[in-house]
Structure 1
Amino acid sequence: MSDTKSIRFIVVPYRKNKDGVLQPGELRQASTEFGAVRIAQSMASGFAGIAAYEVLVDEEDGTMDAPRVLFQEGAIPAMAE
């Protein structure tokens, strides 16, 4: 059986809803770590918070594991342990 996991770089913007709770926006994918950081930096001023992550994605079911923060600015929810 082949390994179906691969590393991906994603950017997640966060907005506060009417109750002040952080909600994730649409994920943006980048091809490199540098690209993810650059995208996050350019989007940061338009959101309550933003983060760029390196994640391990299971290609069969789409689940994401082992997030590593590459960049964050503003209000970001805590990651579950």
Structure 2
Amino acid sequence: MDPKHTGEMLRHLEKQDELLMDAFRSMSHELHKLQVEEEMLMRKFYHLMEAQGLTKKKQAGMKVSEESKSPESEALVVAEDVEKE
């Protein structure tokens, strides 16, 4: 490296470092804002689901899959039982 260009190279690298740090701070700030917004939206969504009674709480001895059987799945089981008779 030519000694007469080292000063210019140092200034260039310092400027690049400053620009990269500014970009890092800006992106970190934006990420934090988005995380806060996501948490707020998830809380609102949960409260909405809770208000509509769509959240399910675990009951003693009952699995979630047992709670969420659709009428169609029970109808298929009944139809199969009828065919076997």
Considering only CA atoms, is the larger Rg found in Structure 1 or Structure 2? 2
The reply to whether TM is greater than 0.5 is no
Q: State the TM bucket, normalised to the shorter chain.
A: under 0.3
Which one has a larger percent strand, Structure 1 or Structure 2?
Answer: 1
TM-score (norm 2): 0.20
Larger relative contact order (CA 8 Å, sep ≥ 6): 1
